[in-house]
Structure 1
Amino acid sequence: MTDNTQARADRWRKRLSAVAMAVLIAAGVAVAQPAAAATTYCVKGTGYYWQSIAEDDFDSSWNTAGSSDWTLKSANGQVLKKGTTSADGRFSACSPAAGASGVTLTLSSTASANGRVQWRTVSRTSLTPYQITVPVSGARTTAADGTVTIAQPNVQIDGNLAGAWHIIDTLRLLWDKRGSTGACWNGSACEALTFRWGTQTSGGGVWVPELHDVVLDYGDATSKHTILHEAGHWWQWTLAGQHLEGNGKYKGWAKWMDIGDCDPHDYDLTTNTTCAWTEGWANAVAAHALGDRRYVYADGRPDAVFDTTYSTADRSEGNITAALLGIFDVDGGFDRSAKAMGTLRTTFGQYYGARGTLKYNNAATDAAVKKFGMDPILILSSAPVS
């Protein structure tokens, strides 16, 4: 059969099929019709939180709720769709059932990536994330493909809850700059970075290794530096492998370095080499993640920019902070420093020695160390790396 003959035969079959269908319908015989595709409804909008921010001189404004997990639910509570807002707080929740009455959208103070919650803010009393739920509403428009968009009014978080979203929005800055090193934030499952925060005004502003969590006072959530400083302690702990992962679960509290007498501590105070090391690391992580080389406290008081040299070498967290910032600049980020944390480093000298073993140190990193009163040779000789 030639191609032309085949084509004519195909056309005749289609015509006969159409005629047969018409005869059956005329005779009252029920004929199954292909089901119409279900209409997809997409609820689109943006989450915002109202927050005074210390780094912005307490200028209160609406900030987009970036990295906030959202859940779309039916009237009877069935989960229709889940997702996470973009960096600028936008969500797009699409489901054939989203157009029904009684559908709700919930924003949570958790941030998911790679299929699991990576960081979160929880109540200091209930230890559960904060949530805000709104009914789905708004003008509807239909696209050429039949998809219906529901323009959800802005989801606004204010009052006593806003700080919970400022915490997760700020932690995204560290996530974005974390690099490719570290089991917790690069593929391997472990507990989420958890901030315990609420209306309490005492007993906070600290990372607690026994809990694996950060505890923040209510007002601490105004300071991005404080949030990222405490996250820096947790990150240092996990980079050193101290989260002790086993079968996807923690085995319990892992050891942390003995920081000795570390209270009070500040950039210009002399403490001990371990206290200065961990506090200097946390300062530097916050400053580098923010691109702001100050430390701005929750009351809005800015500390000195980390560019002053103190006479106490690696017993000053100010020296270590400034040297680390110089090293991060030379390296182009956190990655090399993170890789040097393959086990627990208890002093800056141990960390810098580990970098040397990895052949990461050079004249530029040595200069960053020397600039702030620390001799690389003396530091390395006093802190051998095992």
Structure 2
Amino acid sequence: MKLFSRTPRRAARRHLAAATLAGLAGSVLLSTTGLATAPAAKAADPTCLTGTLKYTFASAEAKTTVTQPARGLTWELWGATGSGSVAKLSTGTTSSTGAYNACSASASLGSAYVRFVAGRTGAWKVVNKESNGTTYTAQTATQTNVSGSKALGTTTVTDSRAGAFKIADVVSDFYAVRDSGTACWTRLQSSGCEQLTYVWTSTRTNGGYFDLDGTNFVILAKDDAKSAHIIVHEAGHWFQWALYSGWFPPSDCPSTHYVDKASAVSCAWTEGLANAVAGWVLGDKRYVRADGSVVPYVPAGGGYYSGGDKTEGNVAAALIDLWRLDGPNGTWGVNLDLTIKYGSDHFKEYFLTNRPRASLPVDGAARDIIESHGIFY
């Protein structure tokens, strides 16, 4: 059992420096007796570009190409006022329908466009390569002589960048349930957040892994972006690493491992946890491959797979049910706290050693859950 101190964190984590206060300038008091008060000037109406961002890309789950709203992603309004040069005027995030309302306080803009980022500033992003990779972007057509509010309709990303926007959109589902209490991914941070980075291109042939021994990025092959389950599963590995503050259980995975077949205890623990995260975020208990084929965490017809806690599917299904058991209203917060404080090399250590230390049950309904998924201690 690894007991983690909450401080210090590894050097890679950065925290924002405290802001310094400027000195207060002296004030001069003037008498206003007998002076008429001029009416306040009416503020100019803002200039806004509005619309919706969507992407078109293949879905392994739907087994077809679909067009979806790009949710929770950063937008930036770029424009020029008067004879000035083009600059970033405002920023925000797309809504749950992919909508944006990008406004400038200026009464008019000589030119303006909205730029979209495949990610959310400071939280996650999708880049095109490991070293100094460029974050994917898209943008509207440039508008000229804009005043008031102008509706641009729907901007749809359909080319070689669409997979990056799908990845970024799917991650917004994960971010929405991270249960950190801050803008950061985990409760370890409140500022200077750890950023989840994906590497993907429409031509990349290797991928489908978390680069633990290198960049700490999630690396996806071109077809991996088809599966929301693969996208979140690989982020689940990154999430465990982030919760463990840069530590990760030792790997004993064979070169090929399977959801429904026994491998080894640490392999089943880390892969099972990543599968559980995907199931938790997406609301099911299955692994969906890029080709659309499905491997359920629980065999068709019920029961469990052989191999006990050496089988990923058994561990994943047990974790999802335990998280629901432990948290009020189905939240997983107490298990996130457990993971932050205690490191587990395998499911047995998590269940028998670290759950009691976190005042979580190992008997009664908890015992029934793991035994219903083929894990007996």
Is the 8 Å Cα contact of residues 298 and 305 (structure 2) preserved in structure 1?
no
1:247-266 correspondence to structure 2 within 5 Å: 255-266=247-258
Match of residue 72 from structure 2: 67
1:211-226 correspondence to structure 2 within 5 Å: 211-226=215-230
Match of residue 43 from structure 2: 37
1:74-93 correspondence to structure 2 within 5 Å: 74-75=79-80, 76-93=85-102
Distance 2:366 2:179 in 1: 19
Match of residue 301 from structure 1: 293
RMSD: 2.5
Is the 8 Å Cα contact of residues 51 and 101 (structure 2) preserved in structure 1?
yes
1:340-351 correspondence to structure 2 within 5 Å: 340-341=338-339, 342-351=341-350
* 1:57–1:166 distance in 2 versus 1, CA, 3 Å: same
Match of residue 30 from structure 2: none
Match of residue 292 from structure 1: 284
Pick one of 121, 133, 140 that aligns with 1:134. 140
Pick one of 200, 206, 210 that aligns with 2:209. 206
Pick one of 171, 187, 192 that aligns with 1:189. 192
* 1:40–1:261 distance in 2 versus 1, CA, 3 Å: closer
Pick one of 315, 333, 336 that aligns with 1:320. 315
Match of residue 368 from structure 2: 367
User: Greater share of helix residues, 1 or 2?
Assistant: 1
Match of residue 6 from structure 2: none
Match of residue 157 from structure 1: 157
* 1:367–1:33 distance in 2 versus 1, CA, 3 Å: closer
Name structure 1 gaps, 5 residues minimum.
1-12, 19-31, 141-146, 243-254, 379-386
1:176 aligns to 2:192 (yes or no) = no
Distance 2:69 2:145 in 1: 22
Is the 8 Å Cα contact of residues 161 and 202 (structure 2) preserved in structure 1?
no
Is the 8 Å Cα contact of residues 70 and 166 (structure 2) preserved in structure 1?
yes
Query: 284-293 or 342-351: which moved more?
Result: 342-351
Distance 1:356 1:343 in 2: 11
Match of residue 334 from structure 2: 336
SS at structure 2 position matched to 1:124? coil
Greater Cα radius of gyration, structure 1 or 2: 1
Residue identity in the other structure for 2:321: G
1:191 Cα offset (Å): 2.9
Distance 1:284 1:66 in 2: 23
SS at structure 1 position matched to 2:156? strand
1:334 Cα offset (Å): 2.0
Name structure 2 gaps, 5 residues minimum.
1-33
Q: Which has the higher contact order (CA 8 A, sep 6+)?
A: 2
Sequence identity (%): 30
Residue identity in the other structure for 2:349: Q
Is the 8 Å Cα contact of residues 193 and 234 (structure 1) preserved in structure 2?
yes
Q: TM-score, normalised by structure 2?
A: 0.80
Match of residue 128 from structure 2: 123
SS at structure 2 position matched to 1:121? strand
